[in-house]
Amino acid sequence: MQDVPIQLLESLEKRKDFSKDSFLKAHEQPPVVSIRLNPLKTVENEALFPNMSAIPWNPNGYYLPERPSFVMDPLLHAGAYYVQEASSLFIWEILKQTNVDTQSRVLDLCAAPGGKTTLLASYFTDGLVVANEVIKTRASILVENVSKWGSGNIVVSNNDPKQFAQLPGYFDVLLVDAPCSGSGLFRKEIEWREGWSEANVELCSQRQKRILADAYNALKENGLLIYSTCSFSQEEDEDIVDWILDSFSVENIPLQLDAAWGVEETDSDRHQAKSYRFYPGKTKGEGFFVSVFRKRETSGYAFATATNIVQPTKNERLILDGWVENPKDLYIYKNGNIFHAVARQFADDIALLKNRLYLRKGGTELGEIKGKDLIPSTELALSLLNAEKTNRYEVDYAQAIQFLRKNDLERKDDMVNGWTLITFKQRNLGWIKVLPNRINNYFPMEWRIRKQ
Ligand code: SAM
C-alpha cells in the first residue's frame, strides 16, 4: 500500500497538535463509517442499521460498526440517510454554537456531491440553501443527491464563484468547503496519496484564495463565513485563515470544544485566529479543517429585477394543484416545459437567482404537462409535497431493487391503474404508471442501480 507522503509527514511533525504515532496507526485502519439521518424521512434515533452509535457533534449523525452495501439499500435511494464522513458533520455544531437563524439564506459555494448541502437543508428548515457546483458533471450528482433528500428549500446552481459577485449582500451564511489537496481523506482514497505533492498544495492554496475573494461580496454584513478543507496542509488551512483576516473585514469566531471529541484548536501564525483540526487517531473521523468568521463590513444589496419567469396558466395550475397536498403554500413556476415549486415566501428569491445564475434546480421539480395530465418528476415523488390521495404501492426488498434497477415490474391484481408512488418501508422511491396489463417504470435511467 502507498505510504502517506513523507513531505506531508515532515511538515506535520513540526506542529504541536500533531501526533505521528497515532496518525500512522490510524492510517493502517479502514476509515470510520458514518451516516446522517434525514429528519424529513426518519424518526429521531431510528435504528436504520444495527448497533448505530451517536456522533456527538450532530444530532442526526451515527457511526456504523461496519460498512454495509449502501448502494443496495433502497432507503439510501429514498433519501432516508446520507453516507457522510463523521468529522464534516461538525458544521452542524458550528451553526448551533453561532446561533444562526434557521430562516437564513445560505450559499454552499463548492457543493458537490452534496453532503454539506443536505446537512444545511436539514438545519435551515425555514431558510433557502443555494448549492453551487462549478463542474457540470458534478452538478448533476449534486442534483441527484439533493432531489433524493427531498427538502423543498434547495436551489442548485452551476456557476463559477465569480458570478456570485452579482448577488452583493444577499447571503446570511457562506460556506466555502474548498477544493483542496485531499490529505484528510488518505484513509478513504488511498490512491490520492500517490497524486499528492507540495506543488499541488500551493496550487490549491492559490485557488482557495481566488474562490474566497470571488464570493465574499455575496455575504451580508454580520453574515457568517465558514471555511473548511479536508487537507492537513497549513498553506491551505491556517495560512488561508490569516489571508482572510488580512484581506477582509471579518472577525474570527472561536468555538467551544468537548475534550472527549479529540478535536484540536489551533492558532494561525499572524493573527492567532482559532481554527479546528480533526486528525484520524485523535478524532473518530477523517481529516477535516474548519474556521469561522463574521463579516464586519457593509455590502451592496441584491434586489430582484424583472425576469422571464413564466407562471402556469389557470388550467395548468388546476392540474398541478391536484398533485400536491397544500397548493396554496406553493409558488409554482415554469422553466422551459417543466414546472417547479418552492415555498411561497421564496418567489422573489427564485426570480432574483434565476436572473443572475444558471439554475439546475430551483425548489422541487413537479414535472411536465402533456395534454390534460402531468408527467410527474421523480423529484416530486421524493419530496414531501405529494397529495395524500396519490396512489401508493408498497413493495418488498426484491421488488424495490428491481424498480431501482429500472427493470420491468410485474402487474399485480391489487394495483390500481394510473400514476403510482412505489414505496419501500413507507418511503417513496419513485413513480410507476400502472396500465391494464403492464407497468411502466419511470425511475430515471441515469440514477438506476448498475451494480450486480
Ligand atoms: N461540499 C461538498 C460536500 O460536502 O459534499 C464537497 C466539496 S469538495 C471538497 C470541493 C468542490 O469544489 C468539488 O465539488 C469541486 O468540483 C469544486 N471545485 C473545483 N474547482 C473549483 C473552483 N475553481 N471553484 C469552485 N469550486 C470548485
Mean pLDDT confidence for 298-310:
78
Same domain, 119 and 203: yes
C-alpha cell recorded at residue 251: 472577525
Same domain, 348 and 375: yes
What's the whole-model pTM score? 0.97
Instruction: Determine the pLDDT at residue 57.
Output: 98
Same domain, 371 and 419: no
Asked, for residue 33, whether it belongs to a domain, the answer is: yes
Closest-CA residue, ligand 1 atom 15, reads 179
Q: Which of 110, 180, 204, 230 is catalytic?
A: 230
**248 conformational bin, left if phi > 0, alpha if psi -120 to 50, beta if neither:** beta
Instruction: Determine the pLDDT at residue 294.
Output: 98
The string over 281-302, giving b where at least 16 C-beta atoms fall within 10 Å of a residue's C-beta and e elsewhere, is bbbbbbbbbbbbbebeeebeeb
- What gap in Å lies between CA 148 and CA 131, rounded to an integer? 15
Predicted confidence (pLDDT) at residue 304 exceeds the cutoff of 90: no
Instruction: Determine the pLDDT at residue 168.
Output: 95
Instruction: Determine the pLDDT at residue 303.
Output: 72
Mean pLDDT confidence for 183-211:
95
Mean pLDDT confidence for 9-18:
96
Closest ligand 1 atom to Cα of 230: 9
Instruction: Determine the pLDDT at residue 1.
Output: 66
Pocket test for ligand 1, best of 92, 118, 130, 134 (most atoms within 8 A of CB): 134
Pocket test for ligand 1, best of 83, 87, 89, 110 (most atoms within 8 A of CB): 110
CATH code of the domain covering residue 307? 3.10.450.720
Mean pLDDT confidence for 222-229:
98
159 close to 133: Cβ distance less than 8 angstroms: no
* DSSP helix/strand/coil, 51: coil
Amino acid letter for position 433: K
Mean pLDDT confidence for 231-254:
98
Q: What's the chain's length in residues?
A: 452
Same domain, 156 and 284: yes
Asked, for residue 1, whether it belongs to a domain, the answer is: no
* Owner of C-alpha cell 432507503: 75
Predicted confidence (pLDDT) at residue 307 exceeds the cutoff of 80: no
Asked, for residue 211, whether it belongs to a domain, the answer is: yes
| Exposure on the CB side of residue 28, measured as CA atoms within 13 A | 5
Mean pLDDT confidence for 131-143:
98
Which of 297-311, 325-339, 356-370 is predicted with the least confidence, judged by mean pLDDT? 297-311
- Name the domain boundary from 387, 403, 437: 387
Mean pLDDT, rounded, of the chain: 96
Same domain, 359 and 259: no
- What gap in Å lies between CA 210 and CA 204, rounded to an integer? 10
The string over 329-366, giving b where at least 16 C-beta atoms fall within 10 Å of a residue's C-beta and e elsewhere, is ebbbbbbeeebbbbbeebbebbbbbbbbbebbbbbbbb
Same domain, 280 and 353: no
Closest ligand 1 atom to Cα of 229: 9
Closest-CA residue, ligand 1 atom 3, reads 115
Mean pLDDT confidence for 248-276:
98
pLDDT band at 246 (very low <50, low <70, confident <90, very high): very high
What pLDDT, in 10s, does the model give residues 62-120?
999 999 999 999 999 999 999 999 999 999 999 999 999 999 999 999 999 999 999 99
Q: What distance in angstroms lies between residue 111's CA and the mean position of ligand 1's atoms?
A: 6
Predicted confidence (pLDDT) at residue 306 exceeds the cutoff of 80: no
230 carries an active-site annotation: yes
Q: What distance in angstroms lies between residue 108's CA and the mean position of ligand 1's atoms?
A: 10
Predicted confidence (pLDDT) at residue 202 exceeds the cutoff of 70: yes
Same domain, 81 and 173: yes
Asked, for residue 162, whether it belongs to a domain, the answer is: yes
- Name the domain boundary from 236, 266, 295: 295
Same domain, 277 and 318: no
Ligand 1-lining residues (CB < 6 angstroms): 110-116, 133-135, 138, 161, 177, 179, 207, 211
* Owner of C-alpha cell 417504470: 441
What pLDDT, in 10s, does the model give residues 287-302?
999 999 999 998 888 7
Cβ-based burial of 113 (10 A; exposed 0-12, middle 13-18, buried ≥19)? middle
Q: What distance in angstroms lies between residue 362's CA and the mean position of ligand 1's atoms?
A: 20
CATH code of the domain covering residue 287? 3.40.50.150
Same domain, 234 and 310: no
Query: What are the percentages of helix, strand and coil residues in the chain, rounded to 5?
Result: 30, 25, 40
8-state DSSP, 103: T
| Total count of domains within the chain | 3
Same domain, 167 and 131: yes
Same domain, 141 and 269: yes
Extended beta strands in 271-414, E state: 274-278, 288-295, 330-335, 338-343, 359-362, 364-370, 373-376, 391-394
- Name the domain boundary from 295, 320, 338: 295
Asked, for residue 259, whether it belongs to a domain, the answer is: yes
Q: What distance in angstroms lies between residue 110's CA and the mean position of ligand 1's atoms?
A: 4
Asked, for residue 334, whether it belongs to a domain, the answer is: yes
- What gap in Å lies between CA 395 and CA 425, rounded to an integer? 8
Closest-CA residue, ligand 1 atom 8, reads 179
What pLDDT, in 10s, does the model give residues 393-429?
999 999 999 999 999 999 999 999 999 999 999 999 9
Mean pLDDT confidence for 383-398:
97
Same domain, 289 and 357: no
Mean pLDDT confidence for 156-178:
97
Asked, for residue 75, whether it belongs to a domain, the answer is: yes
In this predicted model, which residue has the larger pLDDT, 266 or 189?
266
Q: Which residues contact 345 (CB under 8 A, 6 or more apart)?
A: none
Q: What distance in angstroms lies between residue 109's CA and the mean position of ligand 1's atoms?
A: 8
Range of the domain at 333: 303-387
Q: What distance in angstroms lies between residue 193's CA and the mean position of ligand 1's atoms?
A: 19
